[in-house]
Amino acid sequence: MAIDEGRAWALRTLGADGVLVREQISSIIRDCHEKMANAQAEAEMKHTGVYGQIWRKCLDEFVTVLGRLPSAEIVPRRGYKLVAFNGVILFPWRFARERSTDIGSRPFAVSDTRISLFGEERESTQQRLDIEFEHPELTEEERELLDAESKALEEALSTHSRVVVVPYASNPFALYSVDWGEATLGSDGYLTFASMESLLEVGAGSLVDVDLTDESFSDGPIPRPDLGVKGDEVNGEADGRP
């Protein structure tokens, strides 16, 4: 039986908990989107500064939810906490407010904290390569894949310079995209992804659209995303700068 490539990539990159991480990321961001959109509507403010704090909400929820998994490591980072698996840090990044924005058009290195994710070596405090906890979600083929990848994973444990970025685009009215992939940071401050997978439909049903009853937030129907559309860059920064 062939292993689903998305699940296989998660296992190779993050280890035994990779499949669960892959399945939970979309749900975490959907939940944060819904809560922050509702908070924006409740605030009755025309500017979207309330919803704009979703970047911090997602950072915190990644640690709270994914940090419960057996092989998770919590990594302090200049006033923040991040979650890592097998030496690979996960970083949620709200790169845009609109669905038409290309990920490649947005600079990532807008703070020293972000830059440091790719440049500092740290000793890992947890080394859990073997499947010491039950993982009923894994098939026999996936367990064999983990065994074959154990040496490469062990080599990655000495540093957190590997980063899986989770870019997402959203505004108070809709969540347009949730992707992930291992990224490298160029000297120009932009990210390069070796590959990228959409997680919007992984572990979830349909897109989250929040029903805002206050008409001051919208002059028309809530927009529904068309993920195939790419266009001009939006103005301004979509995310905070941890």
75-110 pLDDT, tens digit per residue, is 998 778 999 999 999 999 999 999 999 999 999 999
- What is the reported pTM? 0.73
CA–CA gap between residue 161 and residue 108 (Å, rounded): 15
Asked if the model's pLDDT at residue 215 lies above 90, the reply is: no
**Closest to 77 (Cα-Cα) out of 115, 24, 128:** 115
**Segment 40-43 long-range contacts (CB within 8 Å, at least 24 positions apart):** 40/172, 40/212, 40/217, 41/172, 41/210, 41/212, 41/213, 41/214, 41/217
**Contact of 21 with 90, CB cutoff 8 Å:** yes
Which pair of structure tokens corresponds to residue 203?
A: 């572990």
